[in-house]
Amino acid sequence: MILTSQQIANRVRRLGTEITRDYQGRDLVIIGVLKGAATFTVDLARAIDLPVVMDWAAVSTYGRGSTAGTPRLLKDIGEELTGRDVLIVEDILDTGTTLSWLMARLRERAPASVNCCVLLRKPHAVAKPVEPRYVGFDITEHWVAGYGIDYAERHRNLGDIHEVRLPSAALSASSS
Ligand SMILES: O=P(O)(O)OC[C@H]1O[C@H](OP(=O)(O)OP(=O)(O)O)[C@H](O)[C@@H]1O
Ligand SMILES: Nc1nc2[nH]cnc2c(=O)[nH]1
């Protein structure tokens, strides 16, 4: 599996159009989740034709799914959220541990709404149910890297999204 930079750009443009339509007249705060969603968040924000506010959060999650420990906020946002419309932007929804925890924490701050936009949704997003309002692509459970997403902290700078072939950790080079 490979998602080319062109496929990603086309999808991001359409997501931006949808978000522009859905948030007309609202006070939209976009929160990108570091580090994986940094590239996607910036591209998505540029595809939205509204005066959005951008902020960043970082969450550390040890273990996933039923074995997950409690996630921790490594970096909090600076924006006040009371009465505002929050859109969390994530690169991957896998078990849902990260997003379900972050959405619950942000809801405690009395925003008008909290939704999320994920670029990639994996099939096992069931451990902690999360219903993203926007999804870029539904993908298989294979490990992926590129377009901000890492393999062992590397490859975030690739323009395409590649499948990582374990255990060699070679990146897929062609569509299949
Ligand atoms: O749905 P989940 O099972 O919680 O998995 C999804 C999370 O895992 C990855 O983050 P990671 O912890 O690798 O950090 P990073 O964004 O800094 O790469 C990804 O960026 C999501 O945040
Ligand atoms: N980097 C990376 N993190 C993940 N977290 C859950 N799935 C993935 C993946 O495919 N790649």
Q: ∠ at Cα 139 (105, 46), nearest 5°?
A: 60
The closest of 41, 23, 161, 137 to 89, measured between CA atoms, is: 41
Report the separation in Å between the CA atom of 102 and the middle of ligand 1, taken as the mean of its atom positions. Answer: 12
Instruction: Give pTM, 2 decimals.
Output: 0.93
All domains of the chain, ordered by start, with CATH? 11-142 (3.40.50.2020)
Report the separation in Å between the CA atom of 49 and the middle of ligand 2, taken as the mean of its atom positions. Answer: 30
Residue 90 Cβ inside 6 Å of ligand 1? The answer reads yes
Residue 94 Cβ inside 6 Å of ligand 2? The answer reads yes
The closest of 149, 152, 142, 163 to 118, measured between CA atoms, is: 149
Among all bound ligands, the one having the nearest atom to the CA of 66 is 1
Report the separation in Å between the CA atom of 27 and the middle of ligand 1, taken as the mean of its atom positions. Answer: 27
**Mean pLDDT (the chain, rounded):** 91
Residue 158 Cβ inside 6 Å of ligand 2? The answer reads no
Q: ∠ at Cα 97 (93, 99), nearest 5°?
A: 60
> What is the pLDDT at residue 68?
57
pLDDT in tens, 92-151: 999 899 999 999 999 999 999 999 999 999 987 566 789 999 999 999 999 999 999 999
Among all bound ligands, the one having the nearest atom to the CA of 124 is 1
Q: Map residue 99 onto helix, strand or coil.
A: helix
Active site residue 43: no
Q: Is the ipTM of this complex over 0.85?
A: yes
Residue 174 banded pLDDT, cuts 50, 70, 90: very low
Q: How far apart are CA 55 and CA 8, in angstroms?
A: 22
